[in-house]
Amino acid sequence: MTPKPPPITVEERRERIARAQRLMVEEGLDAILLPAGTSLRYFTGVRWGLSERLLAAVLPREGEPVYLAPAFEEPKLRGLLSIGDEVRLWQEDESAYTLAAGLLSEWNAARVGLDEATPYAFVCDLATAAPAIEWTDAAPVVSGCRQRKSPAEVALIRWAMELTLGVHRRVHATLSAGMTNTEIVQAIDRLHREGGADGGSTFAIVAFGDQTAYPHGPDGEQRLAEGETVLVDTGCTVEGYHSDLTRTYVYGKPTARQRELWEIEQAAQRAAFEAVRPGVACGAIDDAARAVLERHGLGPGYQTPGCPHRTGHGLGMDIHERPFLVRGNATPLGPGVVASLEPMIVAYGEMGIRLEDHFVVTEDGAQWLTEPSPSLDEPF
Contact 182, 218 (CB under 8 A): no
- Are 65 and 59 contacting, i.e. CB atoms less than 8 angstroms apart? yes
pLDDT at res. 310: 98
- Mean pLDDT for 85-113 is 98
Closest CA to 196 of 235, 163, 172, 153: 163
Whole-number pLDDT of residue 343: 98
- Please choose, from the candidates 45, 21, 52, the residue with its C-alpha nearest in 3D space to the C-alpha of residue 317: 45
Mean pLDDT of the region 84-95: 98
Return d(Cα 31, Cα 348) in angstroms, integer: 48
Q: What is the DSSP letter of 209?
A: G
What does R_g of the chain's alpha carbons equal in angstroms?
A: 23
Which pLDDT does position 298 carry in this prediction?
98
Question: Can you tell me the mean pLDDT for 271-299?
Answer: 98
* Mean pLDDT (whole number) for 291-319: 98
Answer yes or no: are the C-beta atoms of 277 and 364 closer than 8 Å.
Answer: yes
- pLDDT of res. 227: 98
End-to-end CA distance of the chain: 16
pLDDT at 309 over 90: yes
Average pLDDT of the chain, as a whole number: 98
Type of residue numbered 199: G
Q: Is 297's pLDDT higher than 90? A: yes
- Rounded to 5°, angle at Cα 31 from 25 and 35: 135
Q: What is the pLDDT of residues 112-140, one digit of tens each?
A: 999 999 999 999 999 999 999 999 999 99
pLDDT at 115: 98
Sign of CA dihedral 366, 367, 372, 374: positive
Give the whole-angstrom CA distance, residue 25 versus residue 29: 6
Residue pair 15/100 in contact by the 8 Å Cβ criterion: no
Beta strands in 154-202 (DSSP E): none
Phi/psi region, residue 234 (left: phi>0; alpha: psi -120 to 50; beta: rest), is beta
pLDDT tens figures, 15-38: 999 999 999 999 999 999 999 999
Q: CB burial class (10 A; 0-12, 13-18, 19+) of residue 87?
A: middle
- Tens digits of residue pLDDT in 342-356: 999 999 999 999 999
Tell me what percent of the residues of the chain surpass a pLDDT of 70: 100
**Rounded to whole angstroms, how far apart are CA atoms 120 and 117?**
9
Q: Each residue of 50-73: pLDDT tens digit?
A: 999 999 999 999 999 999 999 999
DSSP three-state, residue 346 = strand
Q: In this model, does residue 1 exceed pLDDT 80?
A: no
Calpha distance 123→112 (Å, rounded): 11
**For the segment 166-210, what is each residue's pLDDT rounded down to a tens digit?**
999 999 999 999 999 999 999 999 999 999 999 999 999 999 999
pLDDT at 313 over 90: yes
Nearest to 114 by CA among 31, 42, 43, 53: 31
Name which of 190, 158, 150 is nearest 174 in CA terms: 190
By C-alpha distance, which of 353, 98, 95 is closest to 230? 353
Please write the tens of the pLDDT for every residue from 229-273: 999 999 999 999 999 999 999 999 999 999 999 999 999 999 999
C-alpha distances in Å from residue 361, one per residue of 22, 26, 116, 366: 23, 25, 24, 4
